[in-house]
Amino acid sequence: MISNWSTVAGRTFRAVRDTSAPMTYGLIALCCLIFVLGPASGLDPAYGTGDALMAAQRAYFRHWGVIPAELFAAPVREALTPATALFVHGSWVHLLGNMLFLYVFGAMAEERMGRVQFTLFYIGCGYLALIGYAAANSASQQSLVGASGAISAVLGAFLYLFPDARVTSLLPFLFFLPLRFPAWVVLPFWAALQWLAAGRATEGPGVAYLAHLVGFTLGFLFAWVRFGRTTAVPSRGTAPGPPAERPGRLDHE
């Protein structure tokens, strides 16, 4: 069993290393691995079933996720939780939605920024997005987990760097017909939906739309400041994309 896992891990590492965007695919692999090994996947019998599994999930999210009230009550002790929360997801839908967006938009952004800069950008913007949400909801006791803040930053940077890239979108009011639009149409539309949803959001389990907005804004500003007004890269072709309305979930469990 250990030998099989070692073989799979070795092949995965070599495949990731040899791609043009190793950090993007490495982040996807890491998030998937952490999820599969944790209680949220429901695959490890050691966490039990029924109420025992639910209790294990709640404890897991509280340990690794951001709890706004505790973050600001004990900032030194809780300072790492916005970083660990980026790699924890609350459900299969949450994980797959986020990883799909990272897969679609992350590779081109990484190729433009470079491996090291992209990794620091991803973690730094994701960290600040969670901090921003926690600051606006400083009394909340809900656990906040997920990579959506970081991935929203990738979307913001992508909008600046590749405004003319064609993104295939599935719009519900058009019966989910796949239509291709430039990024400068799809991504601002997505950001507007997040802004509208954030205005109606209430405290409790759900999607942290404000973290999406903070991440998206940070990502766009970073690309604008770092690459300047004259370095936006023209599209190299069509970038297939998931539905335009949101990049998965950022859950309060």
User: Which sequence positions are flagged as catalytic?
Assistant: 148, 212
How far apart are the C-alpha atoms of 143 and 85, rounded to whole Å?
Answer: 9
How far apart are the C-alpha atoms of 148 and 122, rounded to whole Å?
Answer: 11
The 3-class secondary structure across 30-61, one letter per residue, is HHHHHHHHCHHHCCCHHHCCHHHHHHHHHHHH
Per-residue CA distances from 213 to 29, 134, 161, 179, 187 (Å): 25, 13, 18, 24, 12
Please, are residues 85 and 146 in contact by the beta-carbon 8 Å criterion? yes
Residue 134's nearest CA partner among 221, 203, 59 is 203
Residues 218, 221, 222: CA angle, nearest 5 degrees: 80
Please, are residues 135 and 75 in contact by the beta-carbon 8 Å criterion? no
